[in-house]
Amino acid sequence: MTSISKNVQSVSASGIRKFFDIVAEMKDVISLGVGEPDFVTPWRMREACIYSLEQGRTNYTSNWGLLELRQLIAQHLQNLYKVSYTPENEILVTVGVSEALDLALRAIVDPGDEVILFEPCYVSYAPCVTFAGGVPVTVETSAETGFVPSLEAVRKAITPRTKAIMLSYPSNPTGATADRKSLQDIVNLAREADIFIISDEIYDRLTYVGEHVCVSSLEGARERTILLNGFSKAYAMTGWRIGYACAPPEVAESMMKIHQYVALCAPITAQETAIEALSAGEQSVQDMRAEYNMRRRLIVKRFNDCGLSCSEPRGAFYAFPSVKKTGLSSEEFSERLLHSKHVVVVPGNAFGASGEGYVRAAYATSFEKIEEAMQRIGEFVESLPQAVGAL
């Protein structure tokens, strides 16, 4: 019997799957494990999509994506971050940021090239590096430093084989953001080492404290940065699978080359909807952000009140409290919480070894459910014998 490639075999399936199976058999579950908005796509966008279907817009588009959409993306980035990208040859519309990430890595990574990741990070980064033939190199971060690594740690991780640094602020799972100075320092390092930066900024619009810093807008960054973004989080459009990448022409062309052969184009219906999102979706973004922000404050307060230390997540829609004081590992905590109180959180180690000791709790769920879930988590923590005295 012939076999699966060693490269693919080397990657294990996501640890989150196990929880999914347990939850499927339970009733009365409150899930803080969902990595997507609880809002459905605003009706204005869905209605625009329906209209596009009525008009028979069911064809392929340019490999790059609809020009109108690329022009709107360029305008959007210009308005928000004063970053200029040329719609014709620097913006590629993709099947979500997931595809954009894959394209970016495959466009720049040669076998054995190293890509630096800051952990804890989104579950796809390391596997995608591996699939592209590269070697993921992780730099661990912790709550104490706001989940932004020290410059020294990043410098140490750079070797002659390093091809790129992967940035992702605001972060899934930690909700951390990075300030201008820290990002500029990393950009300067990348310039010294002459390596690429891949910046996944899918949560940019969900920044609650301070400004979001678009990495491409930093001095000396644009020429070596592949900026990834999309519509899933800000516009509650996860299932539409629509994102984009912005990069200097040579990189964008190379990504387009792969995209043209593996995907041809992003679905036109999603592209039409994205046009409506950028043209008329701003108020919806503001409304949803305001709602997340209130839930964010509430959930952080509740975690700290029940003795699970939770630093303030400044972006995305995740709280990342420490469960170390309970004496349980991330997985033990999550499994026991699920079995005894029917509340789902995701163990932090699903996002890398440095996520051990934390759990990820998404507050992309209603205020009432958050209150109920936190009530149950409080009871669970109190019921732990280890907790006595430690809290």
Closest distance of CB 122 from another protein, Å: 7
Residues 120-159 that bind another protein (CB under 8 A): 122-124
Rg from Cα positions in the chain: 21
Tokens representing residue 196 in the block: 């690429």
From 68-76, 130-138, 211-219, 296-304, give the range in contact with another protein by CB under 8 A: 296-304
Of 38 and 331, nearer to another protein (C-beta) is 38
Can the peptide bond before residue 120 be classed as cis, meaning omega within 30 degrees of 0?
yes
Closest distance of CB 259 from another protein, Å: 23
Confirm or reject binding of residue 36 to another protein (CB under 8 A).
yes
Tokens representing residue 137 in the block: 């190199």
Indicate which single residue of 97, 346, 373, 381 sits in contact with another protein (rule: CB under 8 A): 346
Phi, psi (deg, nearest 5) at residue 257: -60, -45
Phi, psi (deg, nearest 5) at residue 69: -65, -45
Strand 114-119, strand 343-344: pairing: unpaired
Confirm or reject binding of residue 11 to another protein (CB under 8 A).
no
Confirm or reject binding of residue 193 to another protein (CB under 8 A).
no
Residues 306-325 that bind another protein (CB under 8 A): none
Indicate which single residue of 8, 10, 20, 386 sits in contact with another protein (rule: CB under 8 A): 20
Closest distance of CB 149 from another protein, Å: 22
Of 176 and 251, nearer to another protein (C-beta) is 176
Indicate which single residue of 8, 11, 40, 280 sits in contact with another protein (rule: CB under 8 A): 40
Confirm or reject binding of residue 298 to another protein (CB under 8 A).
yes
**H or E element, residue 79:** helix 67-81
Indicate which single residue of 106, 163, 295, 314 sits in contact with another protein (rule: CB under 8 A): 295
Rounded to whole angstroms, how far apart are CA atoms 319 and 147? 13
Establish how many alpha carbons lie within 13 A of residue 265's alpha carbon, considering only the half-sphere containing its beta carbon: 17
Of 49 and 214, nearer to another protein (C-beta) is 49
From 33-41, 60-68, 190-198, 255-263, give the range in contact with another protein by CB under 8 A: 33-41
**Contacts of the segment 193-196: beta carbons below 8 A, 24+ positions apart:** 193/158, 193/162, 194/224, 195/158, 195/162, 195/163, 195/164, 195/165, 195/224, 196/108, 196/163, 196/164, 196/165, 196/224, 196/225, 196/226, 196/251
Of 125 and 196, nearer to another protein (C-beta) is 125
Closest distance of CB 34 from another protein, Å: 5
Closest distance of CB 70 from another protein, Å: 28
Indicate which single residue of 72, 100, 344, 361 sits in contact with another protein (rule: CB under 8 A): 344
Rounded to whole angstroms, how far apart are CA atoms 183 and 204? 14
The DSSP 8-state label assigned to residue 160 in this structure reads T
From 34-42, 49-57, 186-194, 241-249, give the range in contact with another protein by CB under 8 A: 34-42
The total of other beta-carbon atoms located within 10 Å of residue 225's CB is 27
Of 34 and 50, nearer to another protein (C-beta) is 34
Confirm or reject binding of residue 35 to another protein (CB under 8 A).
yes
Indicate which single residue of 241, 302, 314, 341 sits in contact with another protein (rule: CB under 8 A): 302
Confirm or reject binding of residue 29 to another protein (CB under 8 A).
yes
Q: Which residues contact 123 (CB under 8 A, 6 or more apart)?
A: 14, 15, 16, 350, 351
Tokens representing residue 388 in the block: 């006595």
149 by DSSP, 3-state: which?
A: coil
**H or E element, residue 116:** strand 114-119
Closest distance of CB 293 from another protein, Å: 8
Closest distance of CB 142 from another protein, Å: 21
Beta pairing partners, 119: 140
Closest distance of CB 123 from another protein, Å: 4
Judged by the rule CB under 8 A, the positions of this chain that interact with another protein are: 14, 16, 19-20, 23-24, 29, 31, 33-36, 38, 40, 122-124, 172, 290, 294-295, 297-298, 301-302, 344, 346, 350, 367, 371
